[in-house]
Amino acid sequence: MQERIPVTEKEVNEDLLKPVFTTPIWWWVAVAVMATGVAAAAGAAGFMFVNGTGVEGINRPVMWEFLIVNFVFWVGISHAGIMLSAILRLTQAEWRRPATRAAEVMTIFSLGTAALHPMMHVGRAWRIYFEFPYDFGRGIFPNIRSPFVWDPSAIFTYLTSTVLFVYVAMLPDLAIARDRSTGWRHTMYYVLAMNWRGTPRQWHLQTVAGILLSSIILPIFASVHSIVSWDFGMAIAVEGWHSTVFAPYFVIGAVWSGVAGVITLLALMRWLFSAQKYIRPEHFDGLGRLLSVVGIGWFYFTMMEICFSLYSLEPSEIAFRHLQLMEWPFNMLFVLFVTTGFFIPVALFMKKSVRRNVAAMFWISIFVNIGMWLERYMIIIPGLMRKTGLPFSWGSHSPSPIELIIVTGSFFAVALGLLVFSKFFPLIPLSDAKEGEVLRAEIQVGKVRVPAIVRE
């Protein structure tokens, strides 16, 4: 760990609270741009509500479209939160420290954005409450056999637990911010910090809560994207979807795209918040090593899924795969998808010099997510275009500007959420950074330097 720059607690406080207490020009510019994008998407969604869902490119066989592709994409991105915070926390991976909060906050915003998509996508959005298990005097409970009832349950469970997780982990930082702020900000932090004073009992409770929440959140890790995959796996009429491999395939794909999203975010934080002292090449190295394993596992599932379906030699399955792999424009998109989603990233992650190069990691992580967006597109849209049996009713598809605006706007919405969050709360956890420093501290014993604290 030669590149580690020792920092004092005072430095940690000043460096990491700087983005919270000072507002550079670029922040206002970025917020203005993002807000414009979100407003455009909101306008497009409003246009859709007023005129009907027909303003999307949907047609008879292709009833689900970009909004659902994007929904799956954002739910996938949100999986990084659990991966980094819960799994790496429980496995005591030290390098996770500066990345945890960013990953969790990205989870919150991407999951919130994802949850908006099905609500926009339904034909009568003003009746979306029919899906929730609350009576409203209708006398009809939702159909719990439907994956569309499992979806909101999984997503809202995940959203709630992540918000709790972020909040519990942020309590000490809120207290520091409380002690260093004045005016309405002080009042806000005062209320949010819930009388945190840093007493041993409070630290003990906070640590226990963190460990408990990480273990409780783990089943959600397996369940959320599995349930999203069952939206497709349960559909017997669509050959390309009706597959038992979908649950693990989607979960590992979610980790692949989510952790790549965290790399993008960390690189941006390193540049924008000048956090070079805290987000170091070793973190990109660790994430890159994690991702090379995940990426290879994910690619195995991708190939297995294609092999299994071709093995059955069913005419409708062959027709779907022919469209997906051989016909324009999907053949081009498939090549783009495996290149950006697998071959470029995994090949480059193998090299240590690439893993430690922040700019390279930034661009590779963007490539991964281009590939992963295309992956969902390649499953959902060609699948619907070649549904079971009746070739007379096979379809085609072209997206409409409205949904392209909404899809683009969703990226702006997540970015806007993160920007605003970074203005009120530190995106790199102060207490975690300090804990990392303490754990790394070394003392001189005779002629050797040994770790000051031994972890069991």
Partner 1 sequence: MITPRIPHKWGMVVDIDRCTGCQACVIACQAENNIPINTEDRYIQRRAIEWIRIERYWEGVEEAVKTGDPSLVKARFIPVLCQHCENAPCEPVCPVYATYHNNEGMNVQVYNRCIGTRYCANNCPYQVRFFNFFQPVWPESLYNQLNPHVTVRTRGIMEKCTFCIQRLRKVERKEVKEQKRISDAEFDSASGMYGPACVRACPTDTLVFGDLNDPNGRVAKMAKDERGYQMFDRLGTEPNVIYLKKVDLHASESAHE
Note whether 329 binds partner 1 by CB under 8 A. no
How many residues touch partner 1 under the rule CB under 8 A: the total is: 43
* String of contacts with partner 1 for each residue 102-121, x by CB under 8 A: ----------------x--x
Which residues, 6 or more positions from 43, have their beta carbon under 8 angstroms from its beta carbon?
405
> What are the φ/ψ torsions at residue 443 (nearest 5 degrees)?
-125, 155
**How are beta strands 442-445 and 448-451 bridged, if at all?**
antiparallel
Beta carbon nearer to partner 1, 8 or 393 = 393
Integer CA distances (angstroms), 186 to 101, 163, 430, in order: 22, 21, 18
The one among 235, 346, 378, 379 contacting partner 1 by CB under 8 A: 235
Q: CB-wise, 240 or 345, nearer to partner 1?
A: 240
Q: Which of 10, 127, 197, 447 binds partner 1 (CB under 8 A)?
A: 127
**Cα three-residue angle 187-201-18, rounded to 5 degrees:** 40
Gap between the Cα atoms of 176 and 165, Å rounded: 18
Could you tell me how many residues make up the chain? 456
Out of 58, 77, 227, 319, point to the residue binding partner 1 (CB under 8 A): 58
Q: Are 369 and 261 in contact (CB under 8 A)?
A: yes
Binding to partner 1 by residue 145, rule CB under 8 A? yes
Nearer to partner 1, 61 or 288 (CB): 61
29, 32, 39, 63: residue in contact with partner 1 (rule CB under 8 A): 63
Nearer residue to partner 1 within complex by CB, 389 or 401: 389
Given the complex with partner 1, which of 219 and 391 has the nearer CB atom? 391
Distance between CA atoms of residues 79 and 258, nearest Å: 6
Measured between alpha carbons, how far apart are the two ends of the chain, in Å? 21
The stretches of 52-180 forming alpha helices (DSSP H) are: 66-77, 79-82, 88-90, 100-121, 147-179
Backbone angles phi, psi at 362, to 5 degrees: -60, -50
Among 4, 124, 204, 352, binds partner 1 (CB under 8 A): 124
How is residue 338 written in tokens?
Answer: 């495996």
Residue at 273: amino acid letter: F
Paired with 448 in beta bridges are 445
- Under the criterion CB under 8 A, does residue 238 sit at the interface with partner 1? yes
51 lines the binding site for partner 1 (CB under 8 A): yes
The label of the residue with tokens 């007379």 reads 392
Encoded one letter per residue, x for contact with partner 1 by CB under 8 A and - for no contact, window 394-423 reads -xx---------------------------
**Is 139 one of the binding residues for partner 1 (CB under 8 A)?**
no
* β-sheet bridge partners, residue 442: 451
Residue 327 CB, shortest distance to partner 1, in Å, is 18
Beta-bridged to residue 449, according to DSSP, are 444
| CB nearer to partner 1: pick between 59 and 276 | 59
Give the binding range for partner 1 (CB under 8 A) out of 207-215, 257-265, 366-374, 393-401. 393-401
Which of 5, 307, 313, 390 binds partner 1 (CB under 8 A)? It is 390
Using CB under 8 A as the binding rule, the residues of this chain from 356 to 385 that contact partner 1 are 384
| Residue ranges binding partner 1 (CB under 8 A) | 51-54, 58-61, 63-64, 118, 121-124, 127-128, 130-131, 140, 142-143, 145-149, 231, 234-238, 384, 387-393, 395-396
